[in-house]
């Protein structure tokens, strides 16, 4: 193992691993990836019971990294959004229809499978050294680079990339503050089996407490992402498996037949978190270290992948022309990502408020007004092929100024 690298990435989650593989596409760049876990172990990632929605542009990107994903993907060929009460047959529906091709569709993949594919790719990439398990104990800067102490060993690089999650120690060491707010909600995530096929349908039900997503997985299986007030999610975590399935069936309906729990229930607090800056001296933030948004649009991982693809565009331009990859070019990355992240974060934050507005006596008139407005909006979109197409293109990640690795 070397002591000197061009790029040091701290954080070996999904975005950190993809960022390492992306940077290694630049022939000649030496990349180190450090994490507190043994990310090359077969056990790493197995306990992550979540699944991720990959937009069409994200899937193009991962395919360009030669990742063998096809055996684990489930296309979302149909999407239905409803608004109504628990146990009610919803009157208000927004249906995007069954006209999406696999090339245009978002695809679901279980995180444990994505970790396994990334692990195999890392093992076969000579330009990447894995450092760890071990945490960064100190960081120092010079005019030409940055040094980090990991397991009593000094690792130097021209650029440091923080991919170490929402509580990023690297970001905090750099003094980069965060903006955001807690939603007072949590998300319960699990996997269910069902007796009837899902036919690739992704269902999003907006209920009084928050959105419930039922997302198709390979076979007769679906991922559940149930967002509600933290107290309600705590209660749903504590009840018996049978009672939980009964509560879930009341919210989902009967289109999937008999339900059974396939994976343990996991819960996560929900909050909005945006870094005030995405760069520092010889530092770049990617993934949850830079931004955390509400999961109702399923765009969290896609944002992190866009970080990696954008960073590749910026670094490749500098590297191929002999410029400093840790210098002024990082400003291009910050400006490019800020626009994209801010617009999506604003949209998801607004939707979260509109569909989960407090229903206290003082705010009940506002809640009713928002409910009326959102249902009119759903009806208008449902009747407009143009608006539906625009929303689907946005969901596919095909709008805006895209980095090359995401383009068709």
Ranking 42-56, 81-95, 224-238 by mean pLDDT, the lowest is: 81-95
Q: Which residues pair with 346 in a beta bridge?
A: none
Predicted confidence (pLDDT) at residue 251 exceeds the cutoff of 80: yes
The full DSSP string for 242-260 is HHHHHHHHHHH-STT-SEE
Asked whether 403 and 312 are in contact (CB, 8 A), the reply is yes
Ranking 94-98, 207-211, 219-223, 311-315 by mean pLDDT, the lowest is: 94-98
Ranking 74-78, 120-124, 268-272, 385-389 by mean pLDDT, the lowest is: 385-389
Q: What token pair was written down for 19?
A: 């960022």
Asked whether 297 and 55 are in contact (CB, 8 A), the reply is no
Asked whether 50 and 121 are in contact (CB, 8 A), the reply is no
Predicted confidence (pLDDT) at residue 163 exceeds the cutoff of 90: yes
Ranking 81-95, 175-189, 338-352 by mean pLDDT, the lowest is: 81-95
Asked whether 141 and 133 are in contact (CB, 8 A), the reply is no
Predicted confidence (pLDDT) at residue 103 exceeds the cutoff of 70: no
For residue 50, what pLDDT is reported? 94
Asked whether 107 and 75 are in contact (CB, 8 A), the reply is yes
Predicted confidence (pLDDT) at residue 392 exceeds the cutoff of 60: no
Predicted confidence (pLDDT) at residue 39 exceeds the cutoff of 80: yes
Residue 82 and residue 304: Cα distance in Å, rounded? 28
Ranking 28-32, 101-105, 152-156, 389-393 by mean pLDDT, the lowest is: 389-393
- Helix and strand numbers (H, E) in the chain are 10, 20
Ranking 142-156, 312-326, 391-405 by mean pLDDT, the lowest is: 391-405
Count of beta carbons in the 10 Å neighbourhood of residue 205: 20
Domains of the chain: 4-69+110-179+271-406 (3.50.50.60), 75-102+183-270 (3.30.9.10)
For residue 266, what pLDDT is reported? 96
What does the pLDDT look like over 281-335, one tens digit per residue?
999 999 999 999 988 778 899 999 999 999 999 999 999 899 999 999 999 999 9
For residue 313, what pLDDT is reported? 96
For residue 363, what pLDDT is reported? 46
In 3-state terms, what secondary structure has residue 183?
strand
Asked whether 51 and 109 are in contact (CB, 8 A), the reply is yes
Q: How confident is the model at residue 26 (pLDDT cuts 50, 70, 90)?
A: very high
User: Which helix (H) or strand (E) segment is 315 a member of?
Assistant: helix 300-320
The full DSSP string for 198-219 is -TTEEEEEEETTEEEEEEEETT
For residue 369, what pLDDT is reported? 56
């Amino acid at each position: 193992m070397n002591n000197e690298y061009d790029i040091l990435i701290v954080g070996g989650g999904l975005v950190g691993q993809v960022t390492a593989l992306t940077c290694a596409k630049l022939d000649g760049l030496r990349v180190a990836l450090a994490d507190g876990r043994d990310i090359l172990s077969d056990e790493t990632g197995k306990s992550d019971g979540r699944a991720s929605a990959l937009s069409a542009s994200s899937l193009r990107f991962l395919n360009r990294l030669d990742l063998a994903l096809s055996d684990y993907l489930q296309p979302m060929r149909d999407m239905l959004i409803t608004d109504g009460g628990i146990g009610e047959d919803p009157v208000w529906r927004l249906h995007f229809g069954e006209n999406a091709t696999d090339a245009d569709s978002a695809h679901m993949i279980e995180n444990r499978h994505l970790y396994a594919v990334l692990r195999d790719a890392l093992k076969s990439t000579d330009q990447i050294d894995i450092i760890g398990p071990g945490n960064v104990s100190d960081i120092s800067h010079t005019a030409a680079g940055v040094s980090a102490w990991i397991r009593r060993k000094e690792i130097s690089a021209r650029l440091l990339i923080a991919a170490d999650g929402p509580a990023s120690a690297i970001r905090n060491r750099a003094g980069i503050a965060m903006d955001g707010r807690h939603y007072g909600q949590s998300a319960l995530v699990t996997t269910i089996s069902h007796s009837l096929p899902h036919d690739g349908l992704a269902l999003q039900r907006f209920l009084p407490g928050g959105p419930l997503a039922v997302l198709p997985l390979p076979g007769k299986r679906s991922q559940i992402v149930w967002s509600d007030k933290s107290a309600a999610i705590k209660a749903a975590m504590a009840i018996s498996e049978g009672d939980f399935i009964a509560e879930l069936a009341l919210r989902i309906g009967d289109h999937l037949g008999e339900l059974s729990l396939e994976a343990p229930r996991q819960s996560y607090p929900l909050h909005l978190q945006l870094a005030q800056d995405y760069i520092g001296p010889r530092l770049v933030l990617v993934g949850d270290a830079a931004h955390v948004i509400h999961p109702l649009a399923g765009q969290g991982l896609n944002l992190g992948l866009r970080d990696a693809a954008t960073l590749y565009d910026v670094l490749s331009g500098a590297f191929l022309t002999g410029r400093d990859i840790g210098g002024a070019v990082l400003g291009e990355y910050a400006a490019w990502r800020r626009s994209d992240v801010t617009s999506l974060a604003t949209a998801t934050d607004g939707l979260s408020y509109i569909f989960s507005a407090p229903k206290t006596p003082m705010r009940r008139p506002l809640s009713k007004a928002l409910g009326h407005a959102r249902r009119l909006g759903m009806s208008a979109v449902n009747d407009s092929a143009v608006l539906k197409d625009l929303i689907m293109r946005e969901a596919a990640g095909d709008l805006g100024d895209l980095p090359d690795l995401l383009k068709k």
